[in-house]
Amino acid sequence: MGEIATSEKQITLFYSSKSVRAKQTLAYAKAEGLPILEIDILKTKITGTQIIELADRLHINVVDLVNQEHPAYKSKFQSHDLSTNDWIKMIQNNPEIMKQPIALRGDITILVETPTDIIKI
């Protein structure tokens, strides 16, 4: 069992409160009456274990959770070939560069590309 608690009865949403897509996703989910547990990654520090678990649940590597096109990434970093631990530290210290929103419900995890993706879960 992972560190992230999930339930069939509610959606856990990891998101950035500065993200337009995340705000739209939250608004859409609430309009649909979906029960949401909100985790704003800018306000709630996520652990390395949670980052690894999110990547595993999405069937991607931790490096793939980093949005290397994000302005904050481009302004602070160059392309890197780092260890998983280094990518985790980068996400923890710069949560705005993590790809999100990520929605979890039971055994299902999705990276929300458009706000309406939330109903797929």
What is the distance in angstroms between the CA of the first residue and the CA of the last residue of the chain?
A: 20
Give domain status of residue 1, yes or no.
no
Sheet bearing 36-40, strands edge to edge: 36-40, 11-15, 102-105, 108-111
Give domain status of residue 105, yes or no.
yes
Give domain status of residue 95, yes or no.
yes
Q: Which domain holds residue 68?
A: 11-120
- Tally of domains in the chain: 1
Give domain status of residue 69, yes or no.
yes
Give domain status of residue 4, yes or no.
no
What pLDDT sits at residue 5? Answer: 82
Average pLDDT over residues 90-118: 95
Give domain status of residue 43, yes or no.
yes
CATH number for position 95:
3.40.30.10
Q: Tens digit of pLDDT for each residue in 58-99?
A: 999 999 999 999 898 988 887 778 899 999 999 999 999 999
Give how far Cα 66 sits from Cα of 29, 49, 50, 116, Å. 25, 16, 14, 22
Give domain status of residue 63, yes or no.
yes
Neighbour count for residue 47 (Cβ, 10 Å): 12
Kindly report the pTM of this predicted structure.
0.93
The proportion of the chain whose per-residue pLDDT surpasses 90, expressed as a percent, equals: 74
Whether residue 2 is predicted with pLDDT greater than 90 in this model: the reply is no
Neighbour count for residue 13 (Cβ, 10 Å): 24
Q: How many CA atoms lie within 13 A of 55 on its CB side?
A: 20
Average pLDDT over residues 23-36: 92
